[in-house]
Amino acid sequence: MNQYALFLGCNIPVRVKQYDVSARMVLKELGVSLVDIRQFNCCGYPMRNTDPKAFLLSAVRNLALAEKANLDMLVLCQCCYGSLKKAQAVMAEEGELQEEVRLLLAEEGLEYNGNVKIKHFLSVLYHDVGIDTIKQQISTPYKNLNIATHYGCHVLRPSRVTQFDDPVNPSLIDELVTVTGAKSVDWPLQLECCGAPVMGIDDDLSENLTKKKLIDAKAAGAHYVCTACPYCHIQFDTVQKRILSENGNQDDALPAILYPQLLGLGMGIDGDLLGISDNEMDISRVTSFLSEE
Amino acid sequence: MVFDLLLYISLGIFSLGLVFKFFTWFSRKIGYGSEKFTTFARLAAAVKGIAGILFSLKLLTLIKVFILDVIFQIRTLKEDPLRWLMHILIYWGFMLLLLMHALGAIISENIFNDYYSTLNPYLFLRSLFGAMVFSGLLVAVCRRFIFKIPRLKSNAMDHYAIIILAVIMISGIFLEGMKIASPTVFSDMQEEYAALDDEADIQALESFWVRENGLASATVKEPFDQKVIESGRGLHEDYCAECHASNKWAFTGYATAKLIKPVAVGLDHAGAVTFLWYLHFLACFLGLAYLPFSKMFHIIATPVSLLANSVMSKETSRQENVITRQVMELDACTHCGTCSRYCSAMMASEARGNPYILPSEKMVILKDMVKGENLSQAQRGAIVEGVYLCTNCDRCTVVCPSGINLRELWLSVREDLVQKEGAEPMMLSPFSLVRGLNRNLLSDEAYAKPLRETQKALAGEFDEITRPDRTVALQEEADKKWLLHSDDTDFSCCFGCQTCTTVCPVVKNYENPAESLGLLPHQIMYCLGSGLTEAASGARMLWVCLTCYQCQEHCPQQVKVTDLLYELKNKAVQKLEN
Cβ–Cβ below 8 Å for A201 and B427: yes
A200 and B435 within 8 Å at the Cβ level: the answer is yes
Is the pLDDT score of B488 beyond 70? no
**Closest Cβ–Cβ partner in A53, A192, A208 for B351:** A53
Phi, then psi, of B127 in degrees rounded to 5: -65, -40
Query: How many whole angstroms separate alpha carbon B343 and alpha carbon B259?
Result: 46
d(CA B150, CA B192): 57
Pairing of strands A2-7, A72-75: parallel
**Domain parsing of chain A, residue ranges:** 2-119, 138-289
Contact B130, B93 (CB under 8 A): yes
- Nearest Cα residue to B370 out of B335, B410, B306, B327: B327
Contact state of A158 with B506 under an 8 Å Cβ cutoff: no
Over pLDDT 90: what percentage of chain B?
83
DSSP code of residue B106: T
Q: Can you tell me the distance from the alpha carbon of B193 to that of A291, in angstroms, rounded to the nearest whole number? A: 94
Q: Are B305 and B404 in contact (CB under 8 A)?
A: yes
- Contact indicator for A55, B429 with CB cutoff of 8 Å: no
Asked if residues A42 and A83 have their Cβ atoms less than 8 Å apart, the reply is no
- Residues forming beta bridges with residue A147, ordered by sequence position: A184, A224
User: pLDDT of A103-143, one tens digit each?
Assistant: 999 999 999 999 999 999 999 999 999 999 999 999 999 99
The reported pLDDT for the residue numbered B533 is: 84
Mean of the per-residue pLDDT values for chain A?
96
Radius of gyration of chain B (CA): 34
Chain B residues in contact with A151 by the CB 8 A cut-off are none
| Nearest-CA distance B110 → chain A (Å) | 50
CB atoms within 10 A of CB B292: 21
pLDDT of A293 over the 70 cut:
no
Question: Does position B489 have pLDDT exceeding 80, yes or no?
Answer: no
Contact A157 B389 (CB under 8 A): no
Query: How many contacts, defined by CB atoms under 8 Å, are there between A and B?
Result: 174
Span B509-563, pLDDT tens digits: 999 999 999 999 999 999 888 888 888 889 999 999 999 999 999 999 999 999 9
Q: Give which of A36, A100, A24 is closest to A62, Cα–Cα.
A: A36
Give the gap in angstroms from C-alpha A194 to the nearest C-alpha of chain B.
9
Distances (CA, A) of A205 to B355, B437, B543: 35, 14, 12
Residue B483 confidence class, pLDDT cut points 50, 70, 90: low
Partners of residue B345 in chain A, C-beta under 8 Å: 41-42, 58
- Whether A12 contacts A77, CB under 8 Å: yes
Task: For the beta carbon of residue A288, count every other beta carbon within 10 angstroms.
Answer: 10
Task: Note the pLDDT of residue B487.
Answer: 59
CB contact under 8 A, A157 and B485: no
Contacts of B352 in chain A (CB under 8 A): 51, 53-54
- pLDDT of residue B44 exceeding 80, the answer is yes
Distance, CA of B330 to chain centre: 8
CATH code for residues A138-289 = 3.40.50.11810
Mean pLDDT for B201-219 is 93
Minimal CA separation from B341 to chain A, in Å: 8
d(Cα B336, Cα B406) in Å, to the nearest integer?
14
pLDDT score at A290: 96
Give per-residue pLDDT as tens, A1-55.
589 999 999 999 999 999 999 999 999 999 999 999 999 999 999 999 999 999 9
Q: How confident is the model at residue B478 (pLDDT cuts 50, 70, 90)?
A: low
Is the predicted pLDDT of residue B486 greater than 60, yes or no? Answer: no
Residue A66 CA: distances (Å) to CA of A36, A70, A100, B141: 10, 6, 20, 31
pLDDT at A1: 53
Least CB-CB distance to B544: which of A167, A196, A201? Answer: A201
Residue A111 CA from chain centroid, whole number: 27
CA distance B69 to B65: 5
pLDDT value for B383: 96
**B58 has a pLDDT exceeding 80:** yes
Contacts of A239 in chain B (CB under 8 A): 437
Nearest to B344 among A41, A205, A242 (CB): A41
The C-alpha of A153 sits at a distance from chain B's nearest C-alpha, in angstroms, of 5
Q: Are A110 and A61 in contact (CB under 8 A)?
A: yes
Q: Mean pLDDT across chain B, nearest whole number?
A: 93
| Amino acid at the residue B550 | Q
pLDDT at B382 over 70: yes
Chain B residues whose beta carbon lies within 8 Å of the beta carbon of residue A11: 391, 393, 433
What's B286's DSSP letter?
H
A292: number of Cβ within 10 Å? 5
pLDDT given for residue B480 in this prediction: 61
| Rounded mean pLDDT, B99-109 | 89
Kindly report the nearest CA distance between residue A90 and chain B, in angstroms: 8
- A49·B439 Cβ contact <8 A: no
Residues B8-19, mean pLDDT to the nearest whole number:
97
- Other Cβ atoms less than 10 A from the Cβ of B317: the count is 16
Using alpha carbons only, give the angle A100, A102, A104 rounded to the nearest 5 degrees.
Answer: 70
Q: What is the DSSP string of B335-369?
A: ---HHHHH-TTHHHHHHHT-GGGSHHHHHHHHHHH
Answer whether A193 sits within 8 Å of B546, measured CB to CB.
Answer: yes
Q: What pLDDT sits at residue B222? A: 83
Domain locations along chain B: 180-281, 333-458, 467-577
Peptide bond preceding B223 in cis form (omega within 30 of 0)? yes
Tell me how close the Cα of A169 comes to any Cα of chain B, in angstroms: 13
Distance CA A261, CA A264 (A): 5
A216-221 mean pLDDT = 97
Q: Residue B412 burial by CB count (10 A; 0-12/13-18/19+): exposed, middle or buried?
A: buried
What single string gives the DSSP state of each residue in chain A?
A: -EEEEEE-TTTHHHH-HHHHHHHHHHHHHTTEEEEE-TT----SGGGTTT-HHHHHHHHHHHHHHHHHTT-EEEE--HHHHHHHHHHHHHHTS--HHHHHHHHHHHTTT----S---EEEHHHIIIIIIIHHHHHHH-SS-BSS-EEEE---HHHHSSHHHH-SS-SSS--HHHHHHHTTT-EE---TTTTS--SGGGTTT-HHHHHHHHHHHHHHHHHTT-SEEEE-SHHHHHIIIIIHHHHHHHH--GGG---EEEHHHHHHHHTT--GGGGTGGGSSS--GGGGGGBPP-
Determine phi and psi for A224, rounding to 5 degrees. Answer: -145, 155
Burial category of B128 from C-beta neighbours within 10 Å (exposed 0-12, middle 13-18, buried 19 and up): middle
Write out the CATH class of domain B467-577.
mainly alpha
Preceding amide of A197 cis, omega within 30: no
- How far, in Å, CA of B66 to CA of B57, rounded? 15
**Percent of the residues in chain A that have a pLDDT greater than 70, as a whole number:** 99
Read off the pLDDT of residues B269-328 as tens digits, 9 standing for 90 and up. 999 999 999 999 999 999 999 999 999 999 999 999 999 999 999 888 999 999 999 999
Alpha helices in B1-38 (DSSP H): 2-27
| Interface ipTM above 0.90 | yes
Q: How does B537-553 read in b/e, with b if 16+ C-beta sit within 10 Å? A: bbbbbbbbbbbbbbbbb
Question: What pLDDT is stored for residue B479 in this prediction?
Answer: 59
Whether A158 sits inside 8 A of B562 (CB atoms) is yes
DSSP lists the bridge partners of residue A257 as A226
Closest residue to A14, CB basis, from B394, B427, B543: B394
C-alpha–C-alpha distance, residues B27 and B198, integer Å: 70
Is the pLDDT score of B461 beyond 80?
yes
Whole-Å CA distances, B150 to B175, B337, B365:
38, 9, 20
- The pLDDT value recorded for residue B464 is 83
Predicted local distance difference test score (pLDDT) of residue B223: 87
Are B559 and B491 a contacting pair, CB within 8 Å? yes
Sheet hosting strand A256-258, strand order edge to edge: A183-184, A146-149, A224-227, A256-258
CA-based nearest distance B451→chain A, Å: 7
Residues of A190-204 as b/e, b for ≥16 C-beta within 10 angstroms?
A: bbbbbbbbbbbbbbe
The model's pLDDT over B391-436, given as tens digits with 9 standing for 90+, comes to 999 999 999 999 999 999 999 999 999 999 988 999 999 999 999 9
CA distance B210 to B335: 47
Q: Report how far apart, in Å, the C-alpha atoms of B442 and of each of A172, A198, B562 are.
A: 41, 18, 32
Greatest CA separation found in chain B? 117
pLDDT band at B477 (very low <50, low <70, confident <90, very high): low
> Residue B499: phi, psi to the nearest 5?
-60, -40
pLDDT at B484 over 70: no
B503: Cβ contacts below 8 Å, ≥ 6 apart: B550, B551, B554
pLDDT at B466: 82
Which of B372, B304, B336 minimizes the C-alpha distance to B24? B372
Cis peptide before B292 (omega within 30 of 0): no
Mutate to test the interface with A, among B341, B482, B508, B547 (most CBs of A within 10 A): B547
A2-119 is a CATH 1.10.10.10 domain: no
Distance of alpha carbon B576 from the chain centroid: 32
Distances (CA, A) of B383 to B151, B388, B406: 17, 8, 15
Contact (Cβ atoms closer than 8 angstroms) between residue A60 and residue A108: no
Q: B206: part of which helix (H) or strand (E)?
A: helix B199-213
| Alpha-carbon torsion angle B51, B55, B58, B60, nearest 10 | 120
pLDDT tens-digit profile of A53-92? 999 999 999 999 999 999 999 999 999 999 999 999 999 9
